[in-house]
Each structure stands twice: as C-alpha cells, then as structure tokens.
Amino acid sequence: MSLMKLKRRPAARMLLFWLLPALAFAQSDWLDHGGDRGGSRYSALAQIDRSNVSALDLAWIYRTGDGEGTTLEAGFSGLQGTPILLPKEAGGSLVICSAFNEVIALDPATGRERWRFDPNVVRGKRGTQYKCRGVAQWHDDSAAADAACTWRVLLVTFDQRLYALDARTGKGCVGFGDLGLVRLMPIIKNTQPAADSDTVLTYMPPTIVRDTIVIGSSVGAKFKRADAPSGAVRAFDVRTGAFKWSFDPVPRNPDDPQARNWDEAALAQTGGGNVWSLMSADEERDLVFLPTSSPSPNYYGGTRPGQNRYANSTVALRGSTGEVVWHFQIVHHDVWDWDMPSQPLLVDIHRGDEVIPVVVQLTKHGLVFVFHRETGEPLFPVEERAVPTDGVDGEVLSPTQPFPSAPPPLSGTGISPDDAWGFTFYDQAICRKILEQHRTGVMFTPPSLEGTVMMPGMVSNWGSGAVDETRNLLITNPQSVPNLVRLIPRRDVDAEQAKSPMAGIPGGPPGIIDGTPYAIERGAQPLFSPFGAPCTKPPWQRLVAVDLDRGTIEWDVPLGTLDTLMPIPLGLKFGAPGIGGPIVTAGGLIFIGATADERFRALDIETGEELWQFKLPTAAMATPMTYEVDGRQYVVVAVGGHHAYYRDKVADYLFAFALPAN
C-alpha cells in the first residue's frame, strides 16, 4: 500500500489534534514510563519554557536508602528508573521502583514517602546487576471508583515475580494470582530452551494493552551459550494474573510462516530474540509492538544459519491473542549485538491535512526506521545493500542488510585507521596503531580472529527518543564510540581464565561460547588513547533533531563535556557517553541527563541550544519525566549513575526541579 493511498482521517480527528495541547494542559499526569503507552515522551505542559527555564531550581530530593559507592549491594545497583504520576483519583502519588524492586509512592509536591512495598529480592549476589527501570499502571473501568485495586500498579521483579498493587495503599490485589502475586518462573521453565532465575531477568516495566499485561526479559546467557534460554514474550490477564499467551521470536511452532526459514536444528537449540527494552501499546488498535533482540549466541551465528526472523525486528502483535500482525527485520543474522534497544515510538506524522500513524524504531547502529503502524510499510523506502560476508570459519552471514533511504544514519557507518583521532600527534599515532592492529571496515564488517572494531558500537539510543508531534520532530541522543570484538578458537583459550566471572564481559578475559568452536573477547579500553579519550573523532554523544515527515536532520549538537571523564578536567563539549534518553515539552524544551559528566540539561527544541544545566552528585543514567501538581510544574530524574561507567559513584537519588514558588 503506497503512502498516497493511506486513509485520510476525518476532519473531526484533525480538529482534535490541534486542540490536544490545550486539552492536555489540564491532564498533568505522566502515566507511563514513556509518558503514554506509545512512548512519545512528550508533555503538553508549558509552565516551564524557554523564557524562564534559566530560573529552574531544585525543589526536593528523595533517597531510596539503597546506598551508594562500591559496597557489595550498592556497587552493581544504582537508581535508573523513570517514575510515573498517578491521577488524583488513584491517590495522586509519584511512583518509582528502587534498584532492588521496592515500589515507592511519594507526594509529588514534596517527595515525602506515602507508602512502600518491598518484594524482598535476594541481595548480595556478587556481580548481579540490581536495577528496575519502572512500573506500570492500569485502571479498571468496570470497578467502583472507591474499590480496592480499581487503579493498579504493576511490577515485575528482576527475579521474575509479577505483582499487582493497589495504587492508593501499595497492598496486593486480592483476586490477582496469590493475593497480588504471580510467580513467573514455573511458566518460564516450561519454555524451551529452559531457563532459571539467574539467566532470565526482567528490568523493564510491563506493557499494558487493554486488559493484558505483556512482559519481556533479559537473557544474559546469549553471550555464553548457543542454547541460551528462550526469549519468549508472555502475556497475563491484568485482573486475575492468569496466563494468556506467549510469543517466541524464535518461531518453534511449525505453523508459524517464519519457521520454514529456520534450520530445524537451530530452532531446537537457539534462544534469545528476547525483548529487554520497552514495548509499546496502541490500545485503540489492540496492538503491542516488540523491539526484539539478537538470537543466541551473540557474535557468532554458525549454529543458527539464515536471517533468523523474528529476532532483531520490530514485531506488531495482536494484544489480546499474541497473533503476529506484521514484522520487519532490521538486522539479518545478527553477529554484532545490534539488537533493538529503543521502545518503538507510536506517534502521528502530519502532512497537510493527512495524519499518518507511525512506529519509529531507533537502533544501536544509528539507523532510523519509520513504519506505518497498521501495515508495517516503511514510510521511507528501505534498500537491501550488499555487506561483507567474510566471517570466521563456520559463519553464514547475510549478503545484504536493510538501509532506509531517510533519515540519514545518526552514527558513523564504518571505521578505518585514517579515522584515528587524538588531542596531539602523540595520542593520535597510538590510536592509529591500535586500529591498524585490528580489522576495520564498513558497517556490518563481521567479528574476526584478529579483532573487529565496530563502528558504531553497541551502546546507542538505549534511552529511546522523544517526539513533538506538533513539529514532526524526533529528538534522540546517539553515540559514536566504537567497540572491539574478537573471536578466539576455543583451543587457544586459557582454561583458568575462562572460569573467571569476568570472562566474556567488556574488559574481561575471553569467555567460551558453549556449543560453538569459539570464545568471545570484548574490549573495554583498547580503543581509548593514553589520555582516556576515545580514539575516534568527537563528538562521542550527540543530541539530534530529525524531521519525521521529510526524513532530514534539522540540527545536531554535542551532548556533554569531558571534565569528569579525563585525568585533566577539560570542559570541552566533545560529547560524554552515557545511558538514558530525552523528553520534550510544549514549553519548547528538551530535558535530558544521560551523560557521564554528571549534568542534567534543558535545551531549546528549535535549535539544540543549551539553556540550563544542573551539576549532580553522580550521573543521571535514566530518562526524566514531568508533571504538574497544584499549578506547579516539576521535572524529575533518577540520579543513580551506572556501574558500567564508574561503580564507585552509583547512588539512589531522585531529584525534582521546579521554578521558584510564588
């Protein structure tokens, strides 16, 4: 179906769109992790705007009590969640989850604690990443307004327990599982390849589509095993907790149309394809959108020949049944760990009097895909282009990969020794030598025995983007820092080193990939100069504005400075790597942390000009949110650092900002 044939919306719908900013001003709630079920991360609040944001100041600070620094418990935690704000009829609380899955309800005007629910997750597991990125909410339209659990807060613990809590009190909902608890592991263990609570974790909030809860997972064993656990997505009844359906991105059901495109042996043993990021829901259309990840194992695909659909895809499912409505694979036969890191953004693009419902999928490798929400047809043509296929022995790579004609790539599309960069000729020469010692090339150059420098790397667009529909403008923060990946024949791996808990993780010794002839080594420092800066030209993180109608980049600015990252505190605006994403407001502002320089910033959405910044005690590696209470607009962000950047500075702060009270 061509875009010219898309159904035009009635005039009444168009009038409603232009009235939305005015109507939404009275609706001050931030009801979902991404602001709404579709993840637009847009707020119609405009009390804080470009003319007064310079006066923004700290309103209150809350601490979860989880501690900070390098203690056993705190060292691998850090507050990274995005709160939600419930409406007044649901208690009006600001609700966040701690790194240890405690659900905490706060007074949104003061930050004082109202109630707290502790699921008592097991603490002290060395090396475990303790984190919770958020909770979800649901309103039962059929229940009495004052009945318990008419409004519910939904939590998935990282060790696979699903809770439904009364939004006003934090008590478990009677009638939902066992007094508000559904244990997920019995269901997960019955899915092949099998799993346990140490290999299938969940950090993201569930997604709600009508009366269905949809839950994804993180499958860390993909880096260690060809037969990693299944990455199936599972759905439950929001009233009772009863299991409803599951969808496995590795299509083991022989009736699935994609099953015939898989090798039979691979179907039996391949896991992963999971959804570790956020999903989105279009409740009007009964659709849930999945950003799926790579199948197992990562970095070597000889055990899973073929394109491996539905992995590395945007998949639209019927929310009530789990039926596939459409899908689009963004990376064929992934061996780069370029899975989908970003929540699919469900927004409307406006062309004259036409409204086009779309899905925007951001990617780790810097490409932006825009699909029609109902059909999956690309808004901009997608071309299959030839890519390198000379991988290691046993590998069977896809000869082509999809590239959208627009927007242009947001990150570098390859690397060579000529791209070596330094502050001086000395460190530039060292960086060039590092690049010459490894394999370099165009995007999709495969992992190799000599070590492949991937550009872009694998940490980009993790925090998702934000969209201002009134401007057709997407805001996102891609990174341009390369990664080094090397495959090593198992016979050449030191057996004792391979037993290390650090084996196979960035900066650690090689880790064996069970079921394959190889081990994997992932570099942490080899691509940094002696001065502690990346070996490639800055900026290393940017804030970018993309016109979703025309497919053009409107502006592009560095995000972050180097003063906290290097031995010499240089305030150069070269972009500071980090994790997190932006929000946008009707006040013409972008709010974002997501930088290792420990700043929280407000920028002009028209130009990218920085209008305000606040120095934090550690980095805000989370996506902020905003709301209005009693006529005052607040902007809130979790300030918890990230163990991968500097474990000694993880923390448990929640910061709230507002204009000075009258």
Contact assessment for residue 573 and residue 560, using Cβ atoms and an 8 Å cutoff: yes
Measured from the Cβ of residue 324, the count of other Cβ atoms closer than 10 Å reads 17
Residues near 269 by beta carbon (within 8 Å), at least 6 away in sequence? 193, 226, 227, 303, 515
Phi, then psi, of 461 in degrees rounded to 5: 60, 25
Alpha-carbon 503 to chain mean position: 25
Cis peptide before 297 (omega within 30 of 0): yes
* Angle CA 293–514–391, to nearest 5: 65
List C-alpha distances in Å: 456 to 146, 444, 479, 536: 52, 10, 8, 11
**314: amino acid identity, one letter:** T
| Residue corresponding to tokens 């028209």 | 606
The three-class DSSP label of residue 581 is coil
Sheet with 57-63, side-by-side order of all strands: 57-63, 653-658, 632-639, 625-629
| Chain-centre distance for alpha carbon 168 | 29
Catalytic-residue membership of 256: no
CA distances to 597, 606, 638, 648 from 621, rounded to whole Å, are 11, 24, 7, 15
b/e sequence 126-142, b meaning 16+ C-beta within 10 Å: eebbbbbbbbbbbbbee
453 SS3 class? strand
282-304 per-residue burial string, b: 16 or more CB within 10 A, e: under 16: beebbbbbbbbbbbbbbbbbbbb
> Both tokens of residue 640?
């918890």
| Measured distance CA(479)–CA(542) in Å, rounded | 6
Q: What is the CA radius of gyration of the chain?
A: 23
Residues 6+ apart with CB under 8 A from 93: 85, 86, 105, 106, 107, 108, 114, 115, 167
The alpha-helical segments, DSSP class H, found in 287-418 are: none
Residue 527, sorted as left (phi over 0), alpha (psi -120 to 50) or beta, turns out to be alpha
Alpha-carbon gap, residue 406 to 329, rounded angstroms: 17
Residue in 248, 282, 334, 337 annotated catalytic: 337
Tokens of 627: 């709301």
Question: Which residues are known to be catalytic?
Answer: 337
